[in-house]
């Protein structure tokens, strides 16, 4: 899509934008297993967690590493503004794009049945203040923006941290009903997620607006952070101010950044509602399912990197897998088949929310529940890295990793107060280019790109050995209950595909019609040909196809929600040497919140690469 945009009305620059990920440097050794040492002495400040409480994580130097850690490279890469200004003529394909209401005073409180709503200590009245009854103006990106560079939180300097703390403090000092106040900013998330708005603007007043579990996830949160960052900059009079990002995809950033936990009494970034078990030096679990697994530091890092590989490479081979379902006006966010989260949203994004939120609170406040997540400053820093994943994903493969091009996506819009307290309407089409939006990310290595999982058991003929023992999928009566581990034999559409065939289509395993209680945290792990050899299979093993996870969020009076997931298994089958097998054994493991979950369909299909 980007390639076809005109370069006209923007200042040209002599430098070209440096991608967050460059292919040439990374594919040197695709199968190299990443080795980390959790206790080795520091030899390079850039590569260690510079907080004495946390384990020292040392990474070996690789071409990718050395290329990415140099700050000067980053600065040289700046200024490469490109993009297009004129996107107004994009036609709407079919359907009506989602639009937040013009009339923000129609917002309703998220009062309905949160599982423990009487204990919803952050309150469910999430509507924004109404400063005037004027219609929101269409927002126009500044044509010559001041560049804001978002630093990796673990590398941030003391000066930067002081400034950031000062900005958040200023937000907290504003009167509560000011649209820029810490509380109002936090409420935005609740309003857009917990039923504050409906689809009246598009003619469906009886349907709620929901920005999770679909292709609205990345753009909505990008705009949310955009204004939040500009507001903070304005509060401290520094238009170059940029939010940090929580670099959880790099071993040096896999703990809660120290700046959020130091000096709790005076630190505006501190939030008492975080899980005490997960403060530094506890290492984040990208596959977190509500309980600590006891994995060693080294194992946890390997699991995290391979899990990131599954989410960013294997399972997000195309636009739909990465962005999620194509949610348009008229779709019911509770029941529709459009209600499918992209790989990163369902994976590391949900895991971090749940891992940070305080599990002792009735609703895992703050981060563990959508209604309260916006009250933790760490939320925005977590989402900055989620946003960075969007950019990296596009940089990984410019040919097949593209933003949605449908008018229904490009013209979807949300309403925010900008940094000047103007009510503005923003469109997905204006947020596809971060340089045009005036920000960039400090480079940090992405070791997960080389963390392709390795097989537990190769060529184990699992399907053949399971014949007569494991039920065939065609003999199963759906919907299938997932209150215990489910194993099924699933036929493949083709065997021994050639390289050319693999380049034309991905083999995907679909788990469809997952029906679940929307107010519980849920996680299901999916394995292919997992053999019972007494060794636990984790995300670091090829047999792990991926997982499906959901944060609880209330949605009016219905409790059940329907969704689905897809897993790319082309590489997986290569790695376990099962390409010649005409069936595979699929194992669904209910990790948490599954006693009432049912599955509607399990199938394997070839999906053309476009």
**What string of H, E and C letters represents the secondary structure of 28-52?**
CCCCCCCCCECCCCCCCHHHCCCCC
In angstroms, what is the minimal distance from the CB of 73 to ligand C2O? 30
Q: Which of 353, 382, 401, 456 is catalytic?
A: 353
Q: How far apart are CA 427 and CA 446, in angstroms?
A: 30
Sorted by sequence, the CB contacts under 8 Å of residue 318 that are 6+ apart come out as: 400, 506, 607, 609, 610
Instruction: State which residue, 17 or 349, has the beta carbon closest to ligand C2O.
Output: 349
Cβ density class 167-204: b for 16+ within 10 Å, e for less: bbbbbeebeeebbbbbbbbbbbbbbbbbbbbbbbbbeb
Report residue 426: phi and psi, to 5°.
-120, 150
- Helices and strands per DSSP (H, E), number in the chain: 15, 16
Site for ligand C2O in 435-494 (CB under 6 A): none
Position among 122, 183, 234, 353 found at the interface with ligand C2O (CB under 6 A) = 353
Instruction: State which residue, 122 or 383, has the beta carbon closest to ligand C2O.
Output: 383
Rounded to 5 degrees, what angle do the CA atoms 257, 261, 264 make? 160
SS3 content of the chain, % helix, strand, coil (to 5): 30, 15, 55
Instruction: State which residue, 221 or 388, has the beta carbon closest to ligand C2O.
Output: 221
Beta strand pairing call for 204-208 and 198-199: antiparallel
Site for ligand C2O in 383-402 (CB under 6 A): 383
Instruction: State which residue, 353 or 523, has the beta carbon closest to ligand C2O.
Output: 353
Q: What are 231's two structure tokens? A: 């507001």
Instruction: State which residue, 261 or 387, has the beta carbon closest to ligand C2O.
Output: 387
Instruction: State which residue, 212 or 497, has the beta carbon closest to ligand C2O.
Output: 212
Residue 137-176 contact track with ligand C2O, rule CB under 6 A, x = bound: ----------------------------------------
**Known catalytic residue: 349?**
yes
Q: Which of 278, 383, 456, 553 is catalytic?
A: 383
In angstroms, what is the minimal distance from the CB of 552 to ligand C2O? 12
Check residue 119 and report its DSSP letter.
G
Nearest to 255, CA basis, from 387, 162, 382, 65: 382
For residue 555, state whether it binds ligand C2O (rule: CB under 6 A). Answer: no
For residue 189, state whether it binds ligand C2O (rule: CB under 6 A). Answer: yes
In angstroms, what is the minimal distance from the CB of 186 to ligand C2O? 12
> What is the chain's Cα-based Rg?
23
**Known catalytic residue: 383?**
yes
In angstroms, what is the minimal distance from the CB of 193 to ligand C2O? 6
Sheet holding 544-550, edge to edge: 486-491, 583-592, 522-528, 544-550
Site for ligand C2O in 18-37 (CB under 6 A): none
Site for ligand C2O in 213-242 (CB under 6 A): 221
Number of residues that bind ligand C2O (CB under 6 A): 8
Q: Is the Cβ–Cβ distance between 260 and 270 less than 8 Å?
A: yes
Q: How far apart are CA 211 and CA 213, in angstroms?
A: 7
**Known catalytic residue: 353?**
yes
Q: Return the SS3 of 265.
A: coil
In angstroms, what is the minimal distance from the CB of 599 to ligand C2O? 25
Q: Is the Cβ–Cβ distance between 489 and 587 less than 8 Å?
A: no
Q: Is the Cβ–Cβ distance between 170 and 459 less than 8 Å?
A: no
In angstroms, what is the minimal distance from the CB of 535 to ligand C2O? 33
Report residue 72: phi and psi, to 5°.
-65, -35
383 annotated among ligand-binding-site residues: yes
349 annotated among ligand-binding-site residues: yes
Instruction: State which residue, 385 or 537, has the beta carbon closest to ligand C2O.
Output: 385
Instruction: State which residue, 384 or 604, has the beta carbon closest to ligand C2O.
Output: 384
Q: What are 167's two structure tokens? A: 């900005």
Check residue 201 and report its DSSP letter.
G
Q: Which of 180, 221, 278, 555 is catalytic?
A: 221
Sorted by sequence, the CB contacts under 8 Å of residue 343 that are 6+ apart come out as: 310, 311, 312, 315, 316, 321, 322, 546
In angstroms, what is the minimal distance from the CB of 202 to ligand C2O? 21
Position among 126, 193, 243, 410 found at the interface with ligand C2O (CB under 6 A) = 193
**Cis ω on the peptide bond leading into residue 281 (within 30° of 0)?**
yes
Task: Specify which residues 199 forms β-bridges with.
Answer: 204
To the nearest 10 degrees (0 to 180), the angle between helices 158-173 and 217-235 is: 90
221 annotated among ligand-binding-site residues: yes
Q: How far apart are CA 49 and CA 289, in angstroms?
A: 25
Instruction: State which residue, 51 or 428, has the beta carbon closest to ligand C2O.
Output: 428
In angstroms, what is the minimal distance from the CB of 379 to ligand C2O? 7
Q: Which of 220, 370, 416, 567 is catalytic?
A: 370
Q: Which of 278, 349, 401, 553 is catalytic?
A: 349
353 annotated among ligand-binding-site residues: yes
Task: Specify which residues 274 forms β-bridges with.
Answer: 357
Instruction: State which residue, 246 or 417, has the beta carbon closest to ligand C2O.
Output: 246
Q: How far apart are CA 457 and CA 577, in angstroms?
A: 9
Sorted by sequence, the CB contacts under 8 Å of residue 219 that are 6+ apart come out as: 409, 412, 428, 431, 432
Residue 355-374 contact track with ligand C2O, rule CB under 6 A, x = bound: ------------------x-
For residue 349, state whether it binds ligand C2O (rule: CB under 6 A). Answer: yes
Task: Outline where 449-603 has alpha helix (H).
Answer: 462-466, 499-504, 570-575
In angstroms, what is the minimal distance from the CB of 272 to ligand C2O? 20
The count of C-alpha atoms lying within 13 angstroms of the C-alpha of 417, restricted to the half-sphere facing its C-beta, is 21
Q: How far apart are CA 26 and CA 396, in angstroms?
A: 10
In angstroms, what is the minimal distance from the CB of 359 to ligand C2O? 17
**Known catalytic residue: 401?**
no
Sorted by sequence, the CB contacts under 8 Å of residue 468 that are 6+ apart come out as: none
Position among 56, 187, 212, 456 found at the interface with ligand C2O (CB under 6 A) = 212
Binding-site sequence positions for Cu cation: 189, 212, 221, 349, 353, 383
Residues involved in catalysis: 189, 212, 221, 349, 353, 370, 383
Residues in touch with ligand C2O (CB under 6 A): 189, 193, 212, 221, 349, 353, 373, 383
Binding-site sequence positions: 189, 212, 221, 349, 353, 383
């Amino acid at each position: 899509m980007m390639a076809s945009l005109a370069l006209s009305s923007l200042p040209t620059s002599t430098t070209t934008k440096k991608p967050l990920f460059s292919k040439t440097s990374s594919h040197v050794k695709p199968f190299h297993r990443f080795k980390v040492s959790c206790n080795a002495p520091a030899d390079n400040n850039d590569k260690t967690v510079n907080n004495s409480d946390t384990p020292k994580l040392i990474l070996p130097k690789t071409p990718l590493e050395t290329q990415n850690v140099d700050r000067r490279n980053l600065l040289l890469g700046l200024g490469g503004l490109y993009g297009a200004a004129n996107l107004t003529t994009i036609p709407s394909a079919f359907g009506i794009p989602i639009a937040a209401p013009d009339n923000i005073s129609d917002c309703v409180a998220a009062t309905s049945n949160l599982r423990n709503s009487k204990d919803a200590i952050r309150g469910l009245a999430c509507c924004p203040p109404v400063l005037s009854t004027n219609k929101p103006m269409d927002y126009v990106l500044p044509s010559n923006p001041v560049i804001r560079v978002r630093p990796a939180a673990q590398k941030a300097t003391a000066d930067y941290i002081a400034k950031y703390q000062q900005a958040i403090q200023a937000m907290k000092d504003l009167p509560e009903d000011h649209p820029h106040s810490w509380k109002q900013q936090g409420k935005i998330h609740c309003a857009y997620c917990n039923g504050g708005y409906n689809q009246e603007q598009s003619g469906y007043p009886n349907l709620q607006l929901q920005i999770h579990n679909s292709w609205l996830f990345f753009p909505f949160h990008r705009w949310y952070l955009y204004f939040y960052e500009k507001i903070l900059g304005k509060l401290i009079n520094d238009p170059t101010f940029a939010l940090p990002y929580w670099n959880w995809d790099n071993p040096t950033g896999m703990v809660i950044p120290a700046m959020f936990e130091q000096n709790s009494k005076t630190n505006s970034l501190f939030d008492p509602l975080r899980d005490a078990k997960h403060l530094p030096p506890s290492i984040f679990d990208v596959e977190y399912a509500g309980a600590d697994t006891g994995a060693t530091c080294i194992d946890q890092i390997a699991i995290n990197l391979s899990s990131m590989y599954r989410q960013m490479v294997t399972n997000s081979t195309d636009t739909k897998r990465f962005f999620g379902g194509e949610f348009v006006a008229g779709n019911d966010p509770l029941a529709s088949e459009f209600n499918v989260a992209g790989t990163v949203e369902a994976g590391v994004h949900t895991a971090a929310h749940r891992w940070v939120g305080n599990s002792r609170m009735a609703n895992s406040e703050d981060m563990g529940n959508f209604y309260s997540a916006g009250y933790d400053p760490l939320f925005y820093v977590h989402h900055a890295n989620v946003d960075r994943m969007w950019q990296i994903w596009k940089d990984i493969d410019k040919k097949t990793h593209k933003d949605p091009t449908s008018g229904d996506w490009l013209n979807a819009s949300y309403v925010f107060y900008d940094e000047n307290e103007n009510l503005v309407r923003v469109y997905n089409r204006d947020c596809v280019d971060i340089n045009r939006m005036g920000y960039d990310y400090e480079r940090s290595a992405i070791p997960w790109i080389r963390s392709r999982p390795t097989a537990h058991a190769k060529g184990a003929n699992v399907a053949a050995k399971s014949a007569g023992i494991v039920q065939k999928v065609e003999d199963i009566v759906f919907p299938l209950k997932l209150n215990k581990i489910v194993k099924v034999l699933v036929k493949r559409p083709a065997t021994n595909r050639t390289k050319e065939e693999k380049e034309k289509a991905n083999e995907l395993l679909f788990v469809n019609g997952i029906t679940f209680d929307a107010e519980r945290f849920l996680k299901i792990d999916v394995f292919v040909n997992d053999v019972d050899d007494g060794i636990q299979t984790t995300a670091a093993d090829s047999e792990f196809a991926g997982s499906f996870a959901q944060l609880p969020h209330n949605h009016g009076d219905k409790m059940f929600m329907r969704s689905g997931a897809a897993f790319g298994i082309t590489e997986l089958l290569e790695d376990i040497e099962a390409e010649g097998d005409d069936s595979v054994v699929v194992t669904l493991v209910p990790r948490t919140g599954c006693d009432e979950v049912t599955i509607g369909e399990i199938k394997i299909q070839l999906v053309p690469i476009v």
